[in-house]
Structure 1
Amino acid sequence: MAAHRKPGRRPLSGGTARTALTLALAGAASATAFDGTGHADPRLSPAEVKSKVDALYREAERATEKYNGAKERSEKAEKSLGELRDEAARKEDKLNKARASLGSFAAAQYRTGGIDPSVQLALSSDPDRFLERASRADRAGSRQAAAVGGVRRQMREMDRLRGEADARLTGLRARQAELRKHKKTINGKLGEAKRLLSELTADERADLAGREDGRAARSSARAAAPGHAEAPNARAASAVSYAYKALGSPYVWGATGPNAFDCSGLTQAAYRAAGVSLPRTTYAQINAGERVPRSQLRPGDLVFFYSGISHVGLYVGNGQMIHAPNPSAPVRLAPIDQMPFAGAARVA
């Protein structure tokens, strides 16, 4: 019987050894990752955090302007639906009264038994009086026939109003869903920005805030310098005055004052105080006045930024504007060359 010997281990060739080593290292790396002992992502520098946060704020602002537009459309739809329901209620009341009147007439007809007029004439002790009453009844019958037709028309109108109300309600619900979508986007962007800022030390956050405050102070000094252009009209001057009084107010997305603002909310509130009604959103406000080139800006002009027209400020002279920047900064003065210039409009 042959002896069974345990086979000896064969030495690894060069290629096989390299493969084994690669697999071993990969396994070790995987094990380390699963054990949670791998290296964390490198910490972002304050400058990198600021860059990412600024980008998130711009994205949130674009979503905010979409939210503002959807909110404006939603409010108009809600008002329109309310007016339609009021109209339907008035017409339904009128229809009910007409129905009640017809019901009284039908009951009277039933009580007379619907006797043939020629028989009633033959049985009447006073034919002349009967003919007079019959003539009045015939005229009344014509009026009732017209009333029946009127009720039918009112019922068709009520059906139309109910159908229109249903359509407007569907539209309103779609706009409300759009609002919720934009709100979720905004909160997500702002939440991510807040998380990134929280990873900085208190000193780093203070340093970033100090730089912004320093820029705002220099802008204030330049705006207050003598020789800047005057507003083109009293309304523009009044809007600028309002904006100066709003300095330091917090940025709150969707807000239109008097205690907090987003960017287009501030410009809308400033001109509202001047007796001028501006649209709610940046991309509508840019079309609310006469376009003016950058070289001809005057105080009170609306200045817009970024390719999507997602930010707006109020020009105050000397290359400066007052605007509501983002949740990390209050309403403040800033140079208009701080952001990519997209256009300007002068409100008539």
Structure 2
Amino acid sequence: MHSRSTSVRNARRQAVAGTTPSAVRALARLCGIGIAAAVAVGLTPAVAEATPRPSDTQISQAQAAADRVQAEIGRLSGQLAAAQDALDGARARSLIALDEYQATEAAYVVAQREAEAAAAAAAQAAADLEVARAQLVAFARRSYMQGSTYSGAAALITAADPGELVQRAALLEAAGSHRSDVVGVVAVLQVQAAEADEVARAGVEQVADLKEHAEATLVVAQAAEVEARREAASLDARQAELETQLATQQAELQSLVGEQAAADRAAQVTPVTVAPKPVAARPAPSGNQTPAGAGNASAAQTAIAAAAAYKGTPYAWGGGGTNGPGWGWGVDEGVHGFDCSGLTQYAYAEAGISIPRNSRAQYSALPKVSSSDLRPGDLVFWATDTSDADTIHHVAIWLGNDRILEAPQSGSVVKESAMRWRGYIGAGRPTA
């Protein structure tokens, strides 16, 4: 008996020893497939040895479950994307409203200065008119006392002798000429005073209208910013909730199809879409249509360094400008820092270059730059409608290598970021 068992074992060893390497690999593949299939339906390798291959029904059920999980991941990802789009829209509306307020406020300041100048001119014209009128009255009084207001014939007839006659004739001629000059000056000054007064009145009315409009746009801008911040808070809460759900669904999907397959499926559900850089795109038309020249690289670097010195400074809604960081307005009252256009205005003020305060005005004022010709220091702009410069809502400083320096949004700080081509409308060169 012992001899027979030994013979059987030897025969088995010979059979295995005679197995070719390719046969071994094929066997290993079959084993691997069996184990993978077992894992797909939630079985352990130990159970897989007892169940070499799951049934078609089990495979079908596992696939259906994976598809359901994948669909749920897609739904949750879609909700996150929609919430983010809503937030981006709210922020853009807020910034456009802020830009409108800043433009209106700037126009109000200019109108106020012009109205003050017009009022001063009107006061001076009125004073000049009073002086001329006094001179006219004085001339009339002297003429009467000297008898030169008599009719020419009477003055000549009453002359005592030919010498007096000649003298009176000369006086009458001179008096008539002088009287015409005095009356002419008064008439001109009356017209000038009336015109100056009308300009002054119109200026006061314009100032009042602009002030009212500025106050109204500030209310709209503040409401838009409050809404944007409410959307941001809502998104933060919703994002946390959805990301927890996503993690649960992704773990379930991974348990059904494996780690790599789950990752592949997730990539199909939520593909990463990055807007490509526009090739030689011309900036949208607005204001200054002059193509930018080479500019001044040294001044551009000065501006970049000035802005970079404030990295980490808080974003302040409406804050900052030529003189550096400033206090925010409305919802950011008490926050000392920069908004996007306040930062760019300050940076170029440090380089000795004056640009407007708000982003739309900056874009309108600057010579334009093609996307293929961007240089460090250029200002890049974003809009909700890339064909309409009136929808510009953000500006940053181009650093090169697809990097920008910006004051991005509420809750953030001045920082360096990757360039975003989605919503890019064009660029301008302050140093050109």
Length-normalised TM-score, structure 2:
0.56
1:200-222 CA distances to partner (integer Å, 9 max, x unpaired)?
78xx8xxxxxxxxxxxxxxxxxx
Asked whether 1:248 is paired with 2:325, we answer no
Residues 1:56 and 2:90 are matched in the alignment: yes
CA displacement 1:73-103 (0-9 Å, x = unmatched): 2222222222222222222222111100001
| 8 Å contact from structure 1 (residues 77, 171) kept in 2 | yes
Partner of 2:101: 67
Q: Which of 126, 130, 145 is 2:180 aligned to?
A: 145
1:283/1:191 CA distance change after superposition, 3 Å? closer
Counting aligned pairs with the same residue, the percent is 29
Equivalent-residue separation in structure 1 for 2:401 and 2:347 (angstroms):
19
List aligned pairs for 1:163-178, cutoff 5 A: 163-178=198-213
User: How far 1:165 moved relative to its partner?
Assistant: 2.8
Report if the CA contact (8 A) 1:322-1:333 is conserved. yes
1:305 paired residue among 382, 386, 400: 382
Which residue of structure 2 lines up, in the alignment, with residue 105 of structure 1? 139
Distance in structure 1 (CA, Å) of the matches to 2:200 and 2:112: 11
Spell out, residue by residue over 1:128-163, the C-alpha distance to the aligned partner (whole angstroms, 9 max, x if none). 256325413431321121221221122122222222
**Structure 1 240/87 Cα, relative in aligned 2: closer, same or farther at 3 Å?**
same
AA paired with 1:90? Q
* Paired AA for residue 233 in structure 1: A
Alpha-carbon distance, 1:235 to partner:
1.5
SS of the residue corresponding to residue 180 of structure 1 reads helix
Contact 1:251 1:330 in 2 (8 A): yes
Measured after TM superposition, the shift of residue 179 of structure 1 is 1.2
| Aligned twin of 1:280 | 357
Q: Which amino acid aligns with 2:350?
A: A
1:267 aligns with 2:358: no
Q: Which residue of 2 aligns with 1:21?
A: none
1:119: how far off?
5.1
2-side partners of 1:59 and 1:116: how far apart? 78
Q: Is the 8 A contact 1:290 1:346 kept in 2?
A: yes
Structure 2 unaligned regions, length at least 5: 1-78, 241-294, 326-336
How many residues end up aligned between the 2 structures?
Answer: 278
Provide the secondary structure at the position in 2 that maps to 1:103: helix
- Say whether the 8 Å CA contact 1:232–1:298 is kept in structure 2: no
Q: Deviations over 1:180-231 (max 9, x none)?
A: 2220111112223445566778xx8xxxxxxxxxxxxxxxxxxxxxxxxxx9
**Aligned residues: CA RMSD:** 3.3
SS at match of 2:91: helix
Q: TM-score, normalised by structure 1?
A: 0.68
Residues 283-314 of structure 1: CA deviation (Å, up to 9, x unaligned): 33234444334344321011111332211001
Query: For the residues of structure 1 that align with 2:113 and 2:425, how far apart are their CA atoms?
Result: 34
